[in-house]
Homo-oligomer: A and B are copies of this chain.
């Protein structure tokens, strides 16, 4: 596993590889800004001293990575997504995260109450227990996230699950902060059990209301941190944890 990596020469498609890397770097580093029009395939071929075939295959690869957008008759254009993170330059705040989680997670809770079978309930119960048993804030945050993901899985709707997992990063940052601060964490302790109970009894309205309460709680307990961006808060929080050690 470790040794045979050196055997693999990686010289495959040297030309293609070289051109692809160069264009990829130019896009990711911003040398080619978003919405820039790339030279035509024929011109790129000439410029790189390669055939048009090679250039086209490189463009296919960049296209599959969502770095460029190829339009017949017009040309190839650098995609906006190429240079930015999912959130771009925007830093979501705690308030925005809660605001977004409420509609989707309330729906998830309701559907999970309607549809969860024994297997799904077992997974949720296990995650719930792991939250209770977690020895520290980080483990608690991980288990907390798992709990909510298990609910999404139990909703029986993979689209909801994917949407929730797309914001797993910010959710984890928030949970890390929540579970480190007793003033925030403790009022929410009974909520998980109540949600789980409603799901076990297939009481969708109750599951929805408990989930709503669980999430909206943060709006009251976070105080001044409500409108602080999540990553700033996480950084500050980590600094604080480091000092304690």
Contact = CB atoms under 8 A, between A and B. Distances in A.
Interface of A: 12-13, 53, 56-57, 60-61, 63-65, 70-72, 86-88, 90-92, 96-97, 99-104, 106-107, 111, 157-160, 162-167, 170
A103 B104 contact: yes
B163 A159 contact: no
Contact of A61 (B60, B90, B92, B107): B60
Contacts of A56: 53, 57
Contacts of A70: 12
Given A60-B60, A61-B63, A92-B158, 6 more contacts: A57-B60, A61-B61, A92-B159, A99-B159, A100-B157, A162-B166
A14 B28 CA distance: 29
Contacts of A90: 158
A170 B162 CA distance: 11
A225 to B, nearest CB: 16
Contacts of A64: 60-61, 64-65
A76 to B, nearest CB: 12
Contacts of A158: 87-88, 90-92, 96
A-B pairs with lowest CB-CB distance, top 6: A166-B166, A100-B159, A64-B64, A103-B107, A90-B158, A103-B103
A104 B103 CA distance: 6
Nearest to A105: B103
A242 to B, nearest CB: 16
B157 A167 contact: no
B162 A86 contact: yes
Contact of A71 (B12, B61, B91, B170): B12
A138 to B, nearest CB: 11
Contacts of A72: 12-13
A143 to B, nearest CB: 14
29 contacts: A12-B71, A12-B72, A13-B72, A53-B53, A53-B56, A60-B61, A61-B61, A61-B63, A61-B64, A64-B64, A86-B165, A86-B166, A87-B162, A90-B158, A91-B158, A96-B157, A96-B158, A99-B111, A100-B104, A100-B159, A103-B106, A103-B107, A104-B163, A159-B167, A159-B170, A162-B167, A163-B163, A163-B166, A163-B167
